[in-house]
Structure 1
Amino acid sequence: MNDNHDITRFNLTEVHQDLVNLVKQVVSGESVILQHNGKNVAALISLKDLYLLERLIEEEEDRIDIAESQKIMAAVEKEGTVSWESIKTELGLS
């Protein structure tokens, strides 16, 4: 996410010294980026935002699964199916 609205950055040393206030900032709606050696390494977000992210990830995974299933079903309709007996014979299992 490149949108930098309401994001505060803190060095990990500062975080260690002032965690309670950082949590209060997150609860009030501000996102907090944690930095180590000048590099962004983590974020503090509200539980509401965490639940939203989890839901969005799940919905995207479902969308990907549905699209893949549709491709497989289209291939089955186009190419047909192979019987289990034919597969066993081909593999020398019968």
Structure 2
Amino acid sequence: MLGSRSSRDVVTCIACGESVSRSDAREYDKHGDRWDRTDKEFEYLCKPCHSDLTHQPRPGLEDLLETVEADADDRDSFLRRYVELAEEKRR
């Protein structure tokens, strides 16, 4: 059926990788504006991972993570680059 959400009824948690039903997940908008839904594709967190989050504002965190991800080849280089940029930002 055109417009059916059946292909999206199961989503993958971006934190743990578990596949869960969309009704058992929470939407995550990396830009922090979940109310403006125009042309957006949301990512999802399972309820346990969502509960584990600190729900405090983190201005600039997503931009920092995108920069680090673009510079990194593997997990170690990602973590090393994140620490470098986070320390620069704190100064």
Q: TM-score range by the shorter chain?
A: under 0.3
Higher relative contact order (CA 8 A, sep 6+): 2
Q: Flag the structure with higher helix content.
A: 1
TM-score, scaled relative to structure 2:
0.25
TM-score, scaled relative to structure 1:
0.24
